[in-house]
Each structure stands twice: as structure tokens, then as C-alpha cells.
Amino acid sequence: MSEPLFEARAIRKIFGNGNKQIEVLKGIDLTLRPGEMTGIVGASGSGKTTLLQTLGTLAAPSSGQLLFNGERLDTKGERELAGFRNRSLGFIFQFHHLLPEFSALENVMMPALIGGARRSQATAPARRLLAAVELDHRQEHRVNELSGGEQQRTALARALIMEPDLLLADEPTGNLDSRAGELVFNLLHDLCRRRGLAVLMVTHNLQLAARMDRRLTLVDGILETNS
Ligand SMILES: Nc1ncnc2c1ncn2[C@@H]1O[C@H](COP(=O)(O)OP(=O)(O)OP(=O)(O)O)[C@@H](O)[C@H]1O
């Protein structure tokens, strides 16, 4: 078995204060290895988005440890974490957070430009990724001219441009028909096998979850392993 890429140890996340506190994550232990696809299911409001944001260092845990390649993340400052996320993590959010005034191509290139790449370096990989999600014909279109499913595939291309080690995806096939959902799943599956990408994906699609290496269910703030 390969070395862990990512480890969460006893992660808790509490919102609010005083008698208005709600404990959404109550002690998450999770190990992700390169090349592994892990599906997370759970009822609405069970904390799946909170889990992805906390594991992805977008929200600080209330307690517990996060390790990436054995190195502690939870002790790093925001500046260092921003660099880490740009280099090593890809995110697909439920609401894409694409920039509406920019084209699909520009949105996909954005993380590379933020990471210091020149436009001339970022263009070809961005075009390749848009082609891989079958959006060759939409590259120059502004995001607000794209359908919900096209926006979701653009967000996937953007999440992959930096060749992340770990992709955290919140319902990445939610707006897609079954053919596009299949395309996205196959693309990710291929990256896992070929490049060792690790994927942690929230999905309500049980058929998709069944094809992943592992399925976990978030119940009452704890991750349970499904058979
Ligand atoms: N910033 C916040 N402040 C207070 N409570 C919050 C905050 N963010 C989330 N919560 C609460 O945490 C719980 C889990 O929310 P979360 O969005 O993580 O659930 P989810 O499983 O992703 O839901 P869904 O499947 O409906 O998207 C909810 O009860 C929500 O109201």
C-alpha cells in the first residue's frame, strides 16, 4: 500500500458560540492515498461541504490535525496555505465560483496565472483540459453564456490545470446528464490511475459512488465506512 498523501486526525468543526454552538464534525479520521477515489455520501445538512472545506484548509478546524505528505497543515498561516492550495489541491464547489466576466478559457487558466505562469504557458494546457471535457467549442464564451453543466465542466478543467495531487469535489456531476457525468468520472478515473491523483468526492449519485475505490458516509459528524 502506498504512503498516505493526506491524513485527517480527530478533526472537529464547531460553528457559533455560547448556547448557539453546533458541532458539525465530531472527530473525523481519514487517510487518502495517491491514485485512490473516495466517495462521500450523507444526508442534506450532514456536513459534507463543511468537511471538504475543512479538509481543504478553506475553513480552520476547531481541533484536530491535518497532514499532507506527513507535514502538518493546521499549524500553517493563511499565506502559506494559499500557496499550498494553489500548488497541490484542486477544488470543485457546489456553486462553481467561476468569474462570470471572463471566458471559459480564462477561468481555466486563472490558477496557473495566479501561480506565476505566463499567459503563453497556461493557454495550451487550458485548451487541452477544455477539450478533454468536450468544451472545445465553448472556450471563448463568457461563463454567463454557458449552461449549468458546461459551467460545471469548466470548473473541473480549472481544478485540474495545476495538476493537483488531491481533488476535493462537491457534487461535480450534479448538473450533468448521464453521458457528461460518465465523461467526468472517466477523466478523473484515468488521472487517478495514470498520475496518482487522489479524489475525494461528495456525491448523491449512488451508482457513481459504487464505482469508487471506497465509500464513506457522514453520519452525525462521523465518517462511517460502507461495505
Ligand atoms: N458558517 C456556518 N455557520 C453556522 N452553521 C453552519 C455554517 N456552515 C454550515 N453550517 C451548518 O452546518 C451544517 C452542515 O452544513 P453543510 O453545508 O456542510 O451540509 P451538507 O451535508 O453539505 O448539506 P447539503 O447536502 O444540503 O449541501 C448545517 O446544519 C449548516 O446549517
Query: In tens digits, what is the pLDDT along the chain, a chain of 227 residues?
Result: 789 999 999 999 999 888 889 999 999 999 999 999 999 999 999 999 999 999 999 999 999 999 999 999 989 999 999 999 999 999 998 877 899 999 999 999 999 999 899 999 999 999 999 999 999 999 999 999 999 889 999 999 999 999 999 999 998 887 778 888 888 899 999 999 999 999 999 998 888 888 999 999 999 999 998 75
State the pairing for strand pair 37-41/166-170: unpaired
- Residue among 93, 134, 130 at smallest CA distance from 108: 130
Task: Establish if 125 belongs to a structural domain.
Answer: yes
* CA angle, 133 then 137 then 140, to 5°: 105
Which residue type is seen at 159?
Answer: A
Q: In 109-146, which positions are buried (b, 16+ CB within 10 angstroms) versus exposed (e)?
A: bbbbeeeebeeeebbebbbebbebbebeebbeebbeeb
Q: Using the mean position of ligand 1's atoms as its centre, give its distance from the Cα of residue 132 in Å.
A: 33
What residue's CA is closest to ligand 1, atom 25?
Answer: 44
Q: Using the mean position of ligand 1's atoms as its centre, give its distance from the Cα of residue 46 in Å.
A: 7
* CATH assignment of the domain containing 191: 3.40.50.300
* CA angle, 210 then 205 then 92, to 5°: 105
- Residue among 200, 115, 102, 114 at smallest CA distance from 151: 102
What residue's CA is closest to ligand 1, atom 14?
Answer: 47
Which atom of ligand 1 lies at the shortest distance from residue 22's CA? 5
C-beta 44 within 6 A of ligand 1? yes
Task: Give the ranges where the chain is alpha helix by DSSP (H).
Answer: 48-55, 78-88, 104-114, 119-132, 148-160, 178-195, 206-210
- How many domains does one find in the chain? 1
SS3 79: helix
pTM of the full structure? 0.93
SS3 106: helix
What residue's CA is closest to ligand 1, atom 24?
Answer: 44
What residue's CA is closest to ligand 1, atom 23?
Answer: 45
C-beta 18 within 6 A of ligand 1? no
- Residue among 74, 32, 48, 8 at smallest CA distance from 220: 48
Which atom of ligand 1 lies at the shortest distance from residue 42's CA? 21
Q: Are 225 and 41 in contact (CB under 8 A)?
A: no
- Residue among 166, 151, 210 at smallest CA distance from 5: 166
In this prediction, residue 88 carries a pLDDT of 97
In this prediction, residue 68 carries a pLDDT of 98
Structural domain boundaries enclosing 59? 6-225
In this prediction, residue 227 carries a pLDDT of 56
Q: Using the mean position of ligand 1's atoms as its centre, give its distance from the Cα of residue 50 in Å.
A: 6
ipTM above 0.85, yes or no: yes
Q: Using the mean position of ligand 1's atoms as its centre, give its distance from the Cα of residue 1 in Å.
A: 34
C-beta 217 within 6 A of ligand 1? no
Q: Using the mean position of ligand 1's atoms as its centre, give its distance from the Cα of residue 171 in Å.
A: 15
Task: Establish if 95 belongs to a structural domain.
Answer: yes
Residue for grid cell 489541491: 89
* Ligand 1 pocket mutation pick from 11, 14, 48, 50 by most atoms within 8 angstroms of CB: 50
Task: Establish if 1 belongs to a structural domain.
Answer: no
